[in-house]
Structure 1
Amino acid sequence: MDVTAYLDRIGLPRPATPDDDSLRALSWAHQAAVPFENLSIHLGEPISLDPADLFDKVVRRRRGGFCYELNGLFALLLADLGHAVDRVASRVHRGEGRFGPLFDHLALIVDGRWVVDVGFGRHSSYPLRLDSRDEQVDPGGRFRVIEADGGDLDIYRDGEPQYRIERRPRDLLDFEPACWWQQTWPGSHFRTGPVCSRLDGDDRITLSGRRLIRGSGGASTETVLDSDEAVLAAYRTHFGIELDRVPEPPGS
């Protein structure tokens, strides 16, 4: 891990100590600089969870990724900076009280006190207190951490469940089958269309297919990009991603 290069990628100096304030700063800066994106699936690029490949993609090639990639690599950075990090498997809420399979999502528990997640797309800008059951107000919404059956934890945003965390620590390799499944299963929502999103101040900017969506003060504006050149320029201008062709859903 080239910590200096990684910190340069997210625009921060090396923290003096691995404390709560620096963790907050790292979480926000990572989500502002490194987009949540599924473009590899729509460019025909295989996704590898090998740490060297993740570092090359996110830091050297200045791309983003989805949860297994972003939280997987961020965990290594936090550990190198002196934090205690557990990767935990999560089940994403799918409506009507139903949760997806275990390993549907990778989240982090840091220093035994914080739920940290830089790989869920629209989510909290800052870490969430693991031991608080009170409402936690964040630029991304109003969050709660609620006890679930079997010692699991449910993460709620604005009164709606987001995902259920299993507290057992996992190795990054444990997520490889689910990562492959998300890339290849025809029913995976990651295959329905390309999306790229990052924090933009207290709001987000998102390119979903050909729709450029900007949030501001709780409202959003949407612009449809009517040419491939405009789409590629949006990836370059708003996300720092240089592509030679527009990502398209597999099989399209």
Structure 2
Amino acid sequence: MRLEDYLARAEFRGEIAPTLQVLTDLLRAHVTHIPFENLDIQLGRTLTTEPESAFDKIVTRKRGGWCYEQNGLFGWALSEIGFEVTRVAAAVMRSERDRIADANHLTLLVRTKDSGHTWLADVGFGGSMIAPIELRESAHKHNPFRLGLRRTDGHRWQFWEDIGDGEFTFDFFAEPADETALADKCQYLQTSPESGFVQSLVAQIRLPDAHKTLRGKVFSQASAGGIGTRILESPDELVSVLRDIFGIDVPEAAGLWPRIEQRHEELLREKTLTNTYEIRSRSHNQSLG
């Protein structure tokens, strides 16, 4: 594992020092050149929480990855540069999932030598963050996202992001991760039928002022002007979108198309049922009134 190879993969050409400016520039370079993606999970390939595996996949084979890989690799690189890095186990959307959410996300706390402050630096949450956030309550605009940190009642920190369709969050204690818990949850999320990573293909990439996402066969681009979407129509289009938009050259992804179509239809049915239930509930409540 060579730091210079990682820096080349992220297309980072700045100075190398454990400063806030370097942390900011490297985080932005990473999220705008390395996609978030779960193709290997969809293809039944085993992933780990080890930075060495992430380096081989993301740097050597020019792929992307999910939080355990992305933040694992980024944390290793920051440590090599001289930053003080703490790997932290976080819980995505604890409000909906309670304790089952524990350790379902790896994030990083980074201390910079020039500022003396601790910063949340996360390249594995789909690319909403384009600069580190100091570990204090605050709100920021990282177009097209609003995001920030707050304290919760349980004395955890909570990161939140909002692109206009509601908050997406993860919370954490500012302490080193239980690495066994991270490894166990990493295994669970790539094998359990209940896992969203098993159920649906996802790819995301950050632009300086926009964000592109592929979920199943639905491609979307969010910017300050709003969100535009389109539906992919064929396995060939899937392969080309992954390659040309996200930089993920995996021709075998075409074989996932039947499952992607099936999942798309399932989600459409669930949405129809939910909408029908909500309409009936509103009608019932109005009749009671």
Same-fold call, TM > 0.5? yes
Partner SS, residue 45 of structure 2: coil
Listed as ranges, the gaps of 5+ residues in structure 2 are: 112-116, 263-289
Partner of 1:58: 58
| Residues 124, 139 of structure 1: 8 Å contact kept | no
Structure 1 letter corresponding to 2:82? G
Shift of 1:97: 8.9
- CA deviation map 1:144-171 (0-9, x unaligned): 3222345421112348360111211126
Cα distance between partner residues in 2 of 1:193 and 1:96: 19
TM-score, normalised with respect to structure 2: 0.79
Partner SS, residue 175 of structure 2: strand
Q: Which has the larger radius of gyration?
A: 2
Cα distance between partner residues in 1 of 2:61 and 2:146: 34
Partner of 1:137: 141
| Residues 24, 126 of structure 1: 8 Å contact kept | yes
What is the number of residues matched between the two proteins? Answer: 250
Give structure 1 regions of 4+ aligned residues with deviation exceeding 6 angstroms: none
Shift of 1:104: 1.4
Cα distance between partner residues in 1 of 2:146 and 2:169: 12
2:75 counterpart of 1:71:
no
Indicate the larger mover: 122-131 or 37-46: 122-131
| Residues 57, 64 of structure 1: 8 Å contact kept | yes
Partner SS, residue 85 of structure 1: strand
- CA deviation map 1:120-151 (0-9, x unaligned): 115322111103x2322322533332223454
- CA deviation map 1:7-37 (0-9, x unaligned): 1101012523221111111111111111111
Q: Do the aligned partners of residues 18 and 226 (structure 1) sit closer, same or farther apart at CA in structure 2, a change above 3 Å counting?
A: same
2:235 counterpart of 1:231:
no
Q: Do the aligned partners of residues 231 and 161 (structure 1) sit closer, same or farther apart at CA in structure 2, a change above 3 Å counting?
A: closer
Partner of 1:106: 106
Cα distance between partner residues in 1 of 2:76 and 2:58: 13
Partner of 2:150: 146
Partner of 2:228: 221
Cα distance between partner residues in 1 of 2:200 and 2:224: 27
Structure 1 letter corresponding to 2:185? A
Cα distance between partner residues in 1 of 2:168 and 2:99: 9
Cα distance between partner residues in 1 of 2:251 and 2:233: 17
Listed as ranges, the gaps of 5+ residues in structure 1 are: none
- CA deviation map 1:204-247 (0-9, x unaligned): 11222222212232412222221211111111111222112226
Q: Do the aligned partners of residues 144 and 241 (structure 1) sit closer, same or farther apart at CA in structure 2, a change above 3 Å counting?
A: closer
Q: Do the aligned partners of residues 29 and 122 (structure 1) sit closer, same or farther apart at CA in structure 2, a change above 3 Å counting?
A: closer
Structure 2 letter corresponding to 1:215? A
Cα distance between partner residues in 1 of 2:35 and 2:23: 18
| Residues 144, 223 of structure 2: 8 Å contact kept | no
Indicate the larger mover: 164-173 or 92-101: 92-101
Cα distance between partner residues in 1 of 2:45 and 2:156: 34
Cα distance between partner residues in 1 of 2:100 and 2:14: 37
Partner SS, residue 47 of structure 2: coil
Q: Do the aligned partners of residues 62 and 172 (structure 1) sit closer, same or farther apart at CA in structure 2, a change above 3 Å counting?
A: farther
- CA deviation map 1:78-110 (0-9, x unaligned): 100111100111111155695643211111000
Q: Do the aligned partners of residues 165 and 61 (structure 1) sit closer, same or farther apart at CA in structure 2, a change above 3 Å counting?
A: same
> Percent identity at matched positions?
32
Partner SS, residue 24 of structure 2: helix
| Alignment partner of 2:188 out of 181, 188, 201 | 181
| Residues 50, 72 of structure 2: 8 Å contact kept | no
Indicate the larger mover: 84-93 or 220-229: 220-229
Higher helix proportion (structure 1 or 2): 2
TM-score, normalised with respect to structure 1: 0.90
RMSD value, Cα: 2.3
Partner of 1:30: 30
| Residues 24, 131 of structure 2: 8 Å contact kept | yes
